Amino acid sequence: MSKLRYERPVIKKLEGGMPNKFGLRSEIQPMPTIDGNSVANLIQDYGSPLFVISEKTIRSTLKKAKKAFETQYPRVQFAWSYKTNYLNAVCNIFHQEGSWAEVVSGFEYDKAIALGVSGKKIIFNGPEKSVEDLTKAIQNDSLIHIDHLDEFYTIVELAGTLKKRPRVAIRVNMDTGVYPIWDRFGFNYENGQAWDAINKIMHSGKMELIGLHCHIGTFMLSPSAYGIAASKLAELTLALEQKFNHEIKYIDLGGGFPSRNTLKGSYLPGIDTNPTFDDFAEAISTALLNSNFRKDKLPLLILETGRALIDEAAYLLGSVIANKRSSTGRRNTILDVGVNILFTSFWYDHKITPAQSFSQYTEETCVYGPLCMNIDVIRENTELPLLNRGDHVVIHNVGAYNLTQWMQFISLRPNVILIDTNEKPHLIRERETLDNMNNMEKIPDYLVKIN
């Protein structure tokens, strides 16, 4: 038997609480205020349910991410992923902090332009870009990330008719050791599609190939996958330089870093197990710095991080509608928060904390939403103190994807407020009304009267 190599032990602070032999401790603290505002007052002023976004947290999370990358790599640029949360106020906080815009549809592209983002700072991703969208993007000198060859041929044609040199990158998909591979977007690295696309672009002479892009997955728990992705894009960059004497300006590694949420089925809370910005920055910058770029030729590193930058900044406040017992005796609590506005409850065990003080007794509880739908479950099983009708709760880490994927279903979507850095609340999206909904509908004349 050979002698095992010595490995230095690592001491790591657990923030979610130590598990004991029965599982995780259930010592929850009440959360009566958010950034200095009382939850009860916010609900009184703006209704329940209510989305609350903390500007302080957005800015501090982005600063943390920037610091992690900028201390390890000299040239870093963040681009805000619109589909993660495209409320105008939220986008503009990111733009004020220097983030570019990353969009995946004509609608999102127009939104960024309407907010005043310079065309040159808009990254246009995704498989669906109409001729009209591409025309706009070419005229505005935006960064078009080509997804498939049909798009490439359209851009070749448009370059001719518009007499412009479009600025393009290709999206590359690849094996990073995390399966299943996301190979439906862009061009594959291993089977040579990506190199084919690069050659077609270079020989067309019609466009400026300025970057290489990948977005390998979402809620990725493996920093090393990013190291592999960065090395593969670096290989392509160097091959381009060798064959065409052409210099790539940026390598864009997309998004996909996990937030502090807990995936369903995890034993420990995400806050203790998910890798941090530092872990990803280390893997990516090491791969780029160790590849064969000359010192003065290091490409700009672009990151399109979405969920990791916004999840923790938003809370969803709700109120207890009722308590009842299931046929098996389990305690069921019904909230006024449904899965129609909390889409991510299908993937995450969202932390729920009462907004008021409570006694020491807790009980395993199933938390339901208000919809008349069996799937409307916010938490299947969580240890909660006894809540009464009218009590308030705070649901944590809801900033990513809920405010874009929410749907008007059975009930109307609620108000969204932003608490600014001076702890002042602002209404940033008004709750829907029946009029809003009816304004989009038309009734044929013969159906107007029902009697």
Ligand X SMILES: *Cc1c(COP(=O)(O)O)cnc(C)c1O
24 to each of 20, 31, 63, 264, how far by Cα in Å? 6, 20, 31, 14
Q: Tell me, what DSSP letter sits at residue 448? A: T
Can residue 307 be called a binding residue for ligand X (CB under 6 A)?
yes
Identity of the amino acid at 196 = D
List CB contacts of 18: < 8 A, sequence separation 6 or more. 25
Residue nearer to ligand X on the CB measure, 51 or 124? 124
List CB contacts of 301: < 8 A, sequence separation 6 or more. 69, 73, 75, 76, 77, 250, 251, 252, 253, 284, 285, 288
List CB contacts of 25: < 8 A, sequence separation 6 or more. 17, 18, 19
Residue nearer to ligand X on the CB measure, 307 or 413? 307
Residue nearer to ligand X on the CB measure, 254 or 385? 254
Can residue 125 be called a binding residue for ligand X (CB under 6 A)?
yes
Restricted to residues 83-102, the positions that interact with ligand X (CB under 6 A) are: 83-84, 102
Residue 73 CB, nearest distance to ligand X (Å)? 18
Q: Which region among 10-18, 300-308, 319-327, 428-436 touches ligand X (by CB under 6 A)?
A: 300-308
Can residue 344 be called a binding residue for ligand X (CB under 6 A)?
no
Cα-flanking dihedrals φ and ψ of residue 25, to 5°? -65, 155
Q: Which region among 52-60, 249-257, 277-285, 314-322 touches ligand X (by CB under 6 A)?
A: 249-257
Residue nearer to ligand X on the CB measure, 100 or 368? 100
Q: Which region among 81-89, 270-278, 284-292, 376-384 touches ligand X (by CB under 6 A)?
A: 81-89
The mark string for 199-238 relative to ligand X (x by CB under 6 A, - otherwise) is: ----------------x--x--------------------
Residue 280 CB, nearest distance to ligand X (Å)? 11
Identity of the amino acid at 434 = L
Residue 104 CB, nearest distance to ligand X (Å)? 5
Can residue 299 be called a binding residue for ligand X (CB under 6 A)?
no
Residue nearer to ligand X on the CB measure, 306 or 385? 306
- Chain-centroid distance of CA 346 in Å reads 15
User: Given candidates 35, 133, 147, 304, which one binds ligand X under the rule CB under 6 A?
Assistant: 304
d(CA 314, CA 404): 13
Restricted to residues 392-451, the positions that interact with ligand X (CB under 6 A) are: 400
List the beta bridge partners of residue 411: 409
Structure tokens at 312: 């923790």
Can residue 276 be called a binding residue for ligand X (CB under 6 A)?
no
Structure tokens at 373: 């739908």
Restricted to residues 153-182, the positions that interact with ligand X (CB under 6 A) are: none
Structure tokens at 52: 């609350």
Can residue 311 be called a binding residue for ligand X (CB under 6 A)?
no
Cα-flanking dihedrals φ and ψ of residue 341, to 5°? -110, 0
Can residue 306 be called a binding residue for ligand X (CB under 6 A)?
yes
The mark string for 373-402 relative to ligand X (x by CB under 6 A, - otherwise) is: ---------------------------x--
441: number of Cβ within 10 Å: 6
Residues binding ligand X: number (CB under 6 A): 17
61: number of Cβ within 10 Å: 22
Cis peptide before 180 (omega within 30 of 0): yes
Can residue 144 be called a binding residue for ligand X (CB under 6 A)?
no
Residue nearer to ligand X on the CB measure, 73 or 86? 86
d(CA 80, CA 48): 29
Q: Which region among 14-22, 76-84, 93-101, 242-250 touches ligand X (by CB under 6 A)?
A: 76-84
**Cα torsion angle, 230, 152, 256, 306, sign:** positive
Give me the residue label for tokens 């001719």: 160
Residue nearer to ligand X on the CB measure, 46 or 226? 226
Cα-flanking dihedrals φ and ψ of residue 103, to 5°? -120, 155
Residue 314 CB, nearest distance to ligand X (Å)? 14
Chain residues in the site for ligand X (CB under 6 A): 81, 83-84, 102, 104, 125, 215, 218, 254-257, 304-307, 400
